[in-house]
Homo-oligomer: A and B are copies of this chain.
Amino acid sequence: MSETQIASLDRLTQALADEMPEVNQIILARMESEVPLIPQLAGHLIAAGGKRLRPLITLAGAQLAMAQNNITVMPQAARYLAAAVEFIHNATLLHDDVIDKSDQRRGRQTANALWGNEASVLVGDFLFARAFELMVETDDIQVLQLLASASARITEGEVKQMTVQNAPDSSIDDYMSVITGKTAILFAAAAHAGGRTAQADTPLRDALHAYGLALGRAFQICDDALDYVSDAQKMGKNAGDDFYEGKITLPVIFAYQGGDADERAFFDRTLAQSDIQEGDLHHAIEIINRHQGIERALDMADEFVEQAIAALDIAPDGEMKQALIEAARFSARRPS
């Protein structure tokens, strides 16, 4: 095992400790509405927190560009953008929970469980619209262009995920295309657009884009792999959510590709035909472990971590760069 085990987001969070309160204030102010259900429902999700990883990456991109250009004050546009990115992310979470019929997120009941699917769909739309309002306030049409395209790609990734659902013979390419769309593109756009708000030059913008893309891929691969690690080994999320929903992720793809006729028949029954019985998750984990499915997925995540770190080579040295390197390592955390 590598040193990724002990990486955390603390360094990045600390490096941006002075900036995040203002971003959080923008987030709170912009979910207000004269229709009380909107801030109520949105607040349930957004105030519950999460790591605010996307706003952090956005501001970090801006700070690297500030270092490059000797800018000493964080541009207000970067803060708007950070809030917008968090809104886009939370809009997709609201819609995802409706689509996946989830009733738990971050250890609490989901908005759709509490207020119904209808409200979750509409408040997701509201957050998405508010995100665009915030981006308009950056007054930079290129930033808008980046995030509008990213938003379209996110939904393409999600639709693609739906179309390859229940197909355990999916390819690694299919999987990569899904997670690039649904997760990595937003990190890439956030870092890149963050850099733009402080006039990053083209090489730095490209570096930030590549960093976000690789970090996002590592993050999602790892998240998906941990879904097959038994609860005792980790905190929070329950094991097996993806299995029960028929979502095809790397551990399954590796196991299916290397599997014999019996093992494939098992995945065909459980994942393709959604005929899941008592003990099947346990058996799935056995087969996956037989083919080192989790280990190989986490190795791939590590490769993306290395790509993310390498992308920062040309970035100005300093605390922020080191914090981003540590954040990349955190994105491919191993079960303890």
Binding site for B on A (CB under 8 A): 33-38, 91-92, 95, 98-99, 117-119, 121-126, 128-130, 132-133, 135-136, 139, 141, 144-145, 148-149, 151-152, 154-156, 158-160, 162-163
Q: Which of B36, B37, B129, B141 contacts A141 (CB 8 A)?
A: B141
Q: Which of B36, B128, B145 contacts A133 (CB 8 A)?
A: B145
Extra pairs beyond A37-B159, A126-B156 (20, CB < 8 Å)? A33-B156, A33-B159, A35-B160, A36-B163, A38-B156, A38-B159, A95-B122, A98-B117, A122-B155, A123-B155, A123-B159, A125-B155, A125-B158, A126-B152, A126-B159, A130-B152, A132-B151, A133-B152, A136-B141, A136-B148
Check A125–B35 contact: CB distance below 8 A.
Answer: no
A interface, over-half SS: helix
Q: Which of B91, B98, B145, B162 contacts A136 (CB 8 A)?
A: B145
Kindly list the 8 A-B residue pairs having the minimum CB-CB distance in the complex, ordered from nearest: A129-B151, A129-B152, A126-B155, A132-B148, A99-B118, A125-B155, A133-B148, A136-B145
Check B35–A118 contact: CB distance below 8 A.
Answer: no
Copies of this chain, how many? 2
A189 to B126, CA, bound (A): 17
Q: Which of B33, B92, B95, B118 contacts A162 (CB 8 A)?
A: B118
A160 to B122, CA, bound (A): 10
Residues of B within 8 A of A145 (CB): 133, 136
Known: A122-B162, A162-B119. A129 touches B144 (CB 8 A): no
User: Closest CB-CB distance, A163 to chain B, in whole Å?
Assistant: 6
User: Closest CB-CB distance, A12 to chain B, in whole Å?
Assistant: 28
Q: Closest residue to A160 on the B side, CB-wise? A: B35
Check B158–A129 contact: CB distance below 8 A.
Answer: no
Residues of B within 8 A of A132 (CB): 132, 144, 148, 151
A316 to B154, CA, bound (A): 44
Q: Which of B136, B152, B154 contacts A144 (CB 8 A)?
A: B136
A92 to B125, CA, bound (A): 9
Residues of B within 8 A of A152 (CB): 126, 129-130, 133
